[in-house]
Structure 1
Amino acid sequence: MSGDAPTLFETMNPATGAHLATYAVDDEAAVEATLDSAADRFDAWCDRPIAEREALLEDVATVLRDGKDDYAALITDEVGKPLDQSRAEVEKCAWVCEYYAERAAGQLQDERLDGAPGTKTYVSYEPLGPVLAIMPWNYPFWQVFRFAAPHLTAGNVGLLKHAPNTLGCAQAIVSIFREAGYPEGVFSSLQIPTDRVADVIADDRVAAVTLTGSTRAGRAVAAESGEALKKTVLELGGSDPFVVLDDAPVETVAEQAVTARTQNAGQSCIAAKRFVVHEAVYDEFLDAVTQRMESLTVGDPTAEATDLGPLARADILEQLDEQVRASVDAGATVVTGGEPMSREGHYYPPTILTDVPDGCPAAEEELFGPVATVTAVPDESTAVRVANDTDFGLGASVWTADAARGEALVPEIDAGNVFVNQVVQSDPRLPFSGIKDSGYGTELSKHGIREFTNAKTVWVE
């Protein structure tokens, strides 16, 4: 490491600014040992019957539920999300484990194909090896488990590079797999800074890479992985449109809109960030959303009454504030909120912007916090144009009293996930992916579990 490279990571409580813990940065010897262990473990792990790997994953779900309150408290301490949301995150992790524990073998079974007469032809799905998972802080358990549950069960081994502000969660997750009976080396954590990730990607012991993070990080990982000709799956940023048609039940939709924008303090790639509203219901919708945003309880994330906790780090708060200020300077109107709260911790209030001009940050960039833009449109075709007027393409939702009408718009919307009359979400049963600057590759469902396998064509004559 260079002389100015960090030797310690420090985690902080975003609600209070208090120090939580200090973690040593892995030196080169520690990284070598972790990579060796992963590579050495792979052959025995992938040869283990998949029924045994499924049974171990079922045990992981049990460990998660048994320790749910403790794990939720850790998430809240490191990230700042309200405790009920942290508990829901842990529960969702248990669900994805149960989903693949029940279905992985069927999703990976050989697929018979029609070949030449007199031949036996099929595709087998075989694991690739150690997979590096570069994971973010915003859902510090869920993002990891939606990678680990399918891909470890498929026979790969995992190397987690977690965000520095959630290293307590990283260590807890490693412990969960060990407590469930996973052999050492099947799932490990690398405590390294970002500038050392490229060396790990280039290492011959690493077979593939997955990243959930920013578009900028995705470009870097894609370039580094491409240089080494390694498979990647990238789930990147989003600026999801929330399209409200003129027949939508406004009061019900407004309730969903606030949830879609403020869950986890708005720090989600699939949060609804741009409300695109038919002018016939625009005023009613804006009033209803404003009222609900202003009624949210912002405060201590450990208090059960809290709806909105702090942002996860000081730099995230500073960036969001800069984006809002620049947008207002460009002509946007603040309906409610609009500046950091004067209190201890990294708090930003629920905020609504209207009259957002083209070219300003609120129109062009991802706002990673509880800030919504609301735009009036005269008709469906304009709504689709505005929805697609972004470099991102992760999720989108359409709200209407006529589901068939909403479904008819789906082919016109450029996104990896389009939901009609439902908030965009990731679900173990459904494939999840983005297009454009939101990345590529698939997570979850039978499609996701096959991403880090060799789809091997077999011809027997």
Structure 2
Amino acid sequence: MRQVHSFAAGAWVPPGLGARPIASAVTGDVIAEAGNDALDVRGMRAYARDVGGPALRAMKFHERAKMLKALALYLREHRQALYDLSFDTGATQADHLIDVDGGIGTMLVFASKGRREMPDAQVYLDGPPEQLGRGGQFFGQHICTPLQGVAVHINAFNFPVWGMLEKVAPTLLAGVPAIVKPATATSYVTEACVRLMIGSGYLPDGALQLVSGGVGDLLDHLDCQDVVTFTGSADTARGLRGNPNLLNNAVRFTAEQDSLNASVLGPDAGPGTPEFDLFVNEVQREMTAKAGQKCTAIRRIMVPEAHVEAVIAAIKQRLANVTIGDPRAEGTKMGALVSNTQKNDVIEKVEQIGAEAERVFGDPADFAMSDSRGAFLPPMLFHCADPDAAQAVHDVEAFGPVSTVMPYRDLNHAAALLNRGKGSLVASVITHDGDVAREITMASAAFHGRLYFNNRDSMAEATGHGAPLPHMVHGGPGRAGGGEELGGIRAVKHYMQRTAIQGSPDILTSIGQRWVPGAAEAADKPHPFRRPFGDLVLGDTFNSPSRKITLDDIETFAHFTGDTFYAHMDNDAAKANPFFPGRVAHGYLLLSFAAGLFVQPDPGPVLANTGLDNLRFMKPVEAGDSIKVRLTVKAKTPRNDEYGEVRWHVTLTTQDDDVVAEYELLTMNAH
């Protein structure tokens, strides 16, 4: 019997009072027990706040990102242990790749995004500064800082590793400690993963704790600095969401609930097209992966009336080739549901669906594993001939290998059927027609957290209907919970407070560690291109000498580049244009001359110019005008041990100090 421990306040706590048995999904035998009603959950929250939070907030975003990468690579080295345990959840090796490898991959994505898209600082700048005063000495800026509480993650049974890591990664990157509560049925896999993470030594004390079993009265002690996330049934979410303490203290609550996700076969994707075969493959995969126990699985299959019989025949053929059995056995394509309790729940829901739809494949009383004590079920396909009159097929989710085919008359009808799910995590549309995709989007996007389009052009790279990616938002409106997870850095900001700060350019520069125009400049130092990355300071400025622009410069540049646009070559035509006084210099000529005014030609710390951002031309320059350049260090971002990125604020002005152009120059500078 495996004893599934909790990890509380830095110590492993064995099961105790109120422990519950856990059975193998494959054999039905009890293999573990978890739960301890005496667990000090209030002490866990205090430990997270008093120990874990300060340790994480003391780190910069890049340090936390490096920590995530190290954790992910450590888990990757030890993932076989997680595979071995996961078989008893009913999952096959292919399912492990979704859960274990998918979770590790998600953590690596957040580690990469943390290094590339967040500053090497403790404050995240959410958008550019806003000038609030006419004179340029009063600005506003939105910033994000870590919440000073704890994130309580209550997860579902179907993804004991990915379900934890996809939430923990952005939480830790934000600088907030986490208390993870997995579903008891598969908590032994989550516990093994947490043991690896704690044992790696990469996490500061208090950054991650584990509740194996119930959370007790933990939710009654949270406040505005805490976050609760939940993945699971709508009924459970409703109960958690209504906790009086969460309501009274406006505790952030995010739910990712069950939803009746759908897939639509486009009217252009009939039999014989690549899209038809793709559609059938997607449906079969989503019905059988994780034995249909995916929150994103296809529950409703919408098909043009003319193709219903062909679709049913093709899906049945694919399902007939799915081998069901012990997930450890070679050749098994679909394992068991997580428990016999879950199996019985699916059978009950199937009876409700069967009252409105005909079962055309799969008999739970007659299939290869029907005599097993494990939680096995066959994939079951239904056909609802009148989806407009039906109710259960749009309301009841059998959380297993169950899906229903239904016909639609036209795209408006297809969209109406999609929307009867009252909010879902994902809907997919298989079509090669852009107009079909746009029409479905306009009619149904508001009801879905993600719309997945696939066809012959994208199928080789597409990740699948049921695969939430860390780069994109995961969640959905209405029945799906109204929450949002993942989505790149958006997910990190869920664990931070957005605050509007207002003050002088110097104040905003000090808080955000990013130079704001109008803040102090230091122009009496050696040329900044001659100084290594570590010696540069925000506000370091170089003022160039002037250079006069001649008509010969303009014509030479025009003929050399081929840019003979009339504003540069025809004085009368240029004067007729409301933007120009006559012939003017090319904007890119000005940029080229600007580089000549500030570049140091000799080898030095500047290794490469990697681009420019936010270029704007404000005023035209005529022959006879002079330009000069002000180059200021705006931001610094270390990239590795050899070099870092310097963001320079560049301003071009005339002899009258009129600003003619502004942009941000990016260089890589050696340390």
| Amino acid aligned to 2:472 | L
Alpha-carbon distance, 1:107 to partner: 4.1
Retained in 2: the 8 A contact 1:441–1:451?
Answer: no
Aligned to 1:397: 428
Equivalent residue in structure 2 for 1:97, among 93, 107, 130: 107
1:113 equivalent in structure 2: 129
Amino acid at match of 1:236: Q
Is the CA contact 1:34–1:190 (under 8 Å) kept in the aligned structure 2?
A: no
Tell me, yes or no, if the aligned pair for 2:394 and 2:420 is still in contact at 8 Å.
Answer: no
CA distance in 2, matches of 1:454, 1:73: 40
Structure 1 position 356, deviation (Å): 6.2
**Counterpart Cα distance in 1 of 2:110 and 2:352:** 45
What is the deviation of 1:209? 0.5
Deviation at 1:320, TM superposition (A): 1.1
Equivalent residue for 1:254? 280
Q: Post-superposition shift, 1:16?
A: 0.5
The more displaced of 423-432 and 139-148 is 423-432
Aligned to 2:378: 349
Distance 1:412 1:81 in 2: 37
> What residue is the counterpart of 1:168 in the other structure?
188
CA shift in 2, pair 1:266/1:22, >3 Å? same
How do residues 295-306 of structure 1 correspond to structure 2 at under 5 angstroms? 295-306=321-332
Contact 2:426 2:465 in 1 (8 A): no
Is 1:316 the counterpart of 2:342? The answer is: yes
8 Å CA contact retained: 2:42, 2:218: no
Residues 395 and 417, structure 1, Cα contact 8 Å, conserved in 2: yes
Distance (whole Å) between structure 2 residues aligned to residue 427 and residue 131 of structure 1: 21
Q: Which residue type is aligned with residue 52 of structure 1? A: E
Matched, 1:423 2:465: yes
Change (3 A) 1:104 1:266: same
Check if 1:293 corresponds to 2:315.
no
Where 1:426 maps in the other structure, the secondary structure is coil
Asked if 2 retains the 8 angstrom alpha-carbon contact of 1:14 and 1:310, the reply is yes
Do the aligned partners of 1:135 and 1:162 also contact (CA within 8 Å) in 2? yes
Q: Which of 464, 471, 479 is the matching residue for 1:437?
A: 479
SS of corresponding position for 1:394: coil
Q: C-alpha separation between the residues in 2 aligned to 1:138 and 1:336? A: 24
Q: CA deviation at 1:408?
A: 3.1
The DSSP-based 3-state class of the residue aligned with 1:345 is: coil
Give deviations 1:285-312, integer Å, cap 9, x for gaps. 1110111112111111112311111111
| Structure 2 Cα separation of the partners of residues 366 and 327 of structure 1 | 9
Matched, 1:38 2:48: yes
The whole-number CA distance in structure 1 between the counterparts of 2:17 and 2:289 is 33
Q: Is the 8 A contact 2:19 2:213 kept in 1?
A: no
Residue identity over aligned pairs, in percent, reads: 23
1:391, distance to aligned residue in structure 2 (A): 2.9
2:178 aligned with 1:158: yes
Identify the match of residue 453 of structure 1 among 466, 477, 496.
496
- Check conservation: 1:335, 1:353, Cα contact below 8 A: yes
SS at match of 2:474: coil
Deviates more, 1:68-77 or 1:99-108: 99-108
SS at match of 1:393: coil
Give the C-alpha shift of residue 81 in structure 1. Answer: 1.1
Q: What is the rounded CA distance, in whole Å, between the counterparts of 1:70 and 1:356 in structure 2?
A: 47
Alignment of 1:201 onto 2:219:
yes
CA distance in 2, matches of 1:359, 1:408: 25
- Whole-angstrom distance in 1 between the partners of 2:385 and 2:351: 12
Tell me, yes or no, if the aligned pair for 1:26 and 1:190 is still in contact at 8 Å.
no
Q: Structure 1 residues 201, 241: closer, same or farther in 2, change over 3 A? A: same
Query: Which residue in 2 is equivalent to 1:278?
Result: 304
Q: Which has the larger radius of gyration?
A: 2
2:288, 2:247 → 1: CA distance? 36
How far is 1:458 from its partner? 0.9
What SS class does the counterpart of residue 329 from structure 2 fall into?
Answer: coil
SS of the aligned residue for 2:500 comes to strand
Task: Tell me the amino acid that sits aligned with residue 142 of structure 2.
Answer: V
DSSP 3-state at the match of 2:485? coil
Q: Quick one: which amino acid aligns to residue 136 of structure 1?
A: A
Checking the alignment, whether the CA contact within 8 Å between 2:382 and 2:405 is kept in structure 1 is yes
Q: Deviations over 1:136-162 (max 9, x none)?
A: 110111011000011111100000111
Contact 1:250–1:281 (8 Å) recurs in 2: no
1:7-406 matches, cutoff 5 A: 7-28=18-39, 30-41=40-51, 42-77=53-88, 79-104=89-114, 106-107=117-118, 109-111=124-126, 112-117=128-133, 118-128=137-147, 129-180=149-200, 181-193=202-214, 196=216, 199-204=217-222, 207-224=226-243, 225-248=246-269, 249-328=275-354, 330-340=355-365, 341-355=370-384, 358=389, 361-406=392-437
The residue matched to 1:433 in structure 2 has which SS? Answer: strand
Query: Distance in 2 between the 1:220 and 1:51 partners?
Result: 38
Kindly state the Cα deviation for residue 26 of structure 1 after the two structures are TM-superposed: 4.5
How many positions carry a matched residue from both structures? 451
Relative distance call for 1:411 and 1:94 in structure 2 (3 A) is same
2:141 is matched by which residue type in structure 1? Y
**Deviations, residues 198-227 of structure 1 (Å, cap 9, x unaligned):** x21121477110111111111112111223
CA distance in 1, matches of 2:248, 2:237: 14
Alignment partner of 1:443: what SS?
strand
Q: Distance in 1 between matches of 2:46 and 2:356?
A: 56
For residues 316 and 362 of structure 1, do their structure 2 counterparts lie closer, same or farther at Cα, with a shift above 3 Å needed? farther
CA distance in 2, matches of 1:31, 1:424: 35
Distance 1:107 1:405, change over 3 A: farther
Assess if the C-alpha contact under 8 Å between 1:7 and 1:24 holds in 2: yes
Structure 2 counterpart of 1:101, one-letter code? A
Q: Distance in 2 between matches of 1:83 and 1:141?
A: 14
Following the alignment from structure 1 to structure 2, what is the Cα–Cα distance between the partners of residues 290 and 70?
A: 36
TM, length-normalised to structure 2: 0.65
1: CA distance, partners of 2:344 / 2:431: 36
Residues 323 and 362 in structure 1, CA contact (< 8 A), matched pair in contact too? no
CA distance in 2 between partners of 1:214 and 1:143 (Å): 14
- How far apart in 2 are the matches of 1:375 and 1:153? 44
Amino acid at match of 1:163: A
Pairwise CA distance, 1:359:
5.2
Maintained 8 Å contact 2:86/2:189: yes
Q: Secondary structure at the match of 1:437?
A: helix
Moved over 3 A (4+): 356-363
CA contact (8 A) 2:261 2:421 kept: no
Aligned partner of 2:383: which letter?
T
For the 8 Å contact 1:104–1:150, the answer to whether it is kept is no
* Partner Cα distance (2:24, 2:380) in 1: 23
Give the residue type in structure 1 aligned to 2:476.
G
Task: Answer whether contact 2:335 2:376 (CA < 8 A) is retained.
Answer: yes
Q: Contact 1:407/1:420 (CA < 8 Å) preserved in 2?
A: no
Q: Is the 8 A contact 1:356 1:362 kept in 2?
A: no
Aligned partners of 1:50 and 1:153 also within 8 Å: yes
Q: CA deviation at 1:24?
A: 4.2
How far apart, CA to CA, are the structure 1 residues paired with 2:106 and 2:397? 28
Does the Cα contact within 8 Å between 2:153 and 2:167 map onto a contact in 1?
Answer: yes
SS class of match (1:125): strand
Residue 275 of structure 1 deviates from its aligned partner by 0.2
Tell me the distance in 2 between the aligned counterparts of 1:451 and 1:383: 34
**Where does structure 1 lack aligned partners over 5 or more consecutive residues?**
none
Over the aligned positions, Cα root-mean-square deviation in angstroms equals 2.0
